[in-house]
Chain A
Amino acid sequence: GAVVSQHPSRVICKSGTSVKIECRSLDFQATTMFWYRQFPKQSLMLMATSNEGSKATYEQGVEKDKFLINHASLTLSTLTVTSAHPEDSSFYICSAREAGGQRNEQFFGPGTRLTVL
């Protein structure tokens, strides 16, 4: 149980294009999903927290107009990197917290490797 998937696992795009990454909770309902960014040999940095049906809460320094988050259902959240540039190349990871589950337990997806040329 408690499986989270991400799609795609890898994406390569040209500079200036937009890329959408999906995060799905496969066997549970997730009221809250989190988006992280992981640089090589660095920690995971929380980008934003999204709650189903409401606007995402972004961490300081994260551009909300560049990283669009939509949490339209209890099993799906999407992250769209708009007008991507090479500096946006990174490993993006989502996690989900189960509705009614423990507040401090998150289940992580396998991540999406984004490369912007």
Chain B
Amino acid sequence: GDSVTQMEGPVTLSEEAFLTINCTYTATGYPSLFWYVQYPGEGLQLLLKATKADDKGSNKGFEATYRKETTSFHLEKGSVQVSDSAVYFCALSDRAQGGSEKLVFGKGTKLTVNP
């Protein structure tokens, strides 16, 4: 079945450091790919998404490119801020699954940014 594997955390960075959180996937169809963010005490929020190969999703300085050849969707940010501290989830939604559009999540990566 479909699955998502993302790098184990926690990740601790200093403010203005470069961030990469790796995510790879396996899917039987043509998935859409997502990054969700969960701030402390809050629900998941969609950070960015890409629906087809070579698409780049971007939001709030974060970027991720849908790489079909490497089945990856790595999250990057050039300069993190303390306010970026949160748990980040990579996810996929497979349109081949009879239209059910279920989301499959990775385990999440906790990011802490220190001032």
Contacts and interface: CB of A to CB of B under 8 A. Distances in A.
B98 to A, nearest CB: 11
B93 A104 contact: yes
Given A43-B105, A103-B101, A111 B46 contact: no
Given A49-B100, A93-B43, A111-B43, A104 B89 contact: no
Contacts of A105: 46
B14 interface: no
Count class of interface residues, chain A: 20 to 34
A44 B105 contact: yes
B107 A43 contact: yes
A54 interface: no
B59 interface: no
Interface in A102-117: 103-106, 108-111
Contact of B44 (A6, A46, A49, A108): A108
Contacts of B57: none
A44 B89 contact: yes
A108 B91 CA distance: 14
Contacts of A109: 43
A104 B32 contact: yes
Contacts of B95: 103-104
Contacts of B102: 34, 46, 49
Contacts of A95: 44, 103
A43 B108 contact: yes
8 contacts: A4-B43, A41-B108, A97-B101, A103-B101, A108-B43, A109-B43, A110-B42, A111-B43
Interface of B: 4, 32, 36, 41-46, 49, 51, 89, 93, 95, 99-108
What are the 8 A-B residue pairs with the smallest beta carbon separation, nearest first? A110-B43, A108-B44, A104-B93, A108-B43, A43-B105, A43-B107, A44-B105, A103-B101
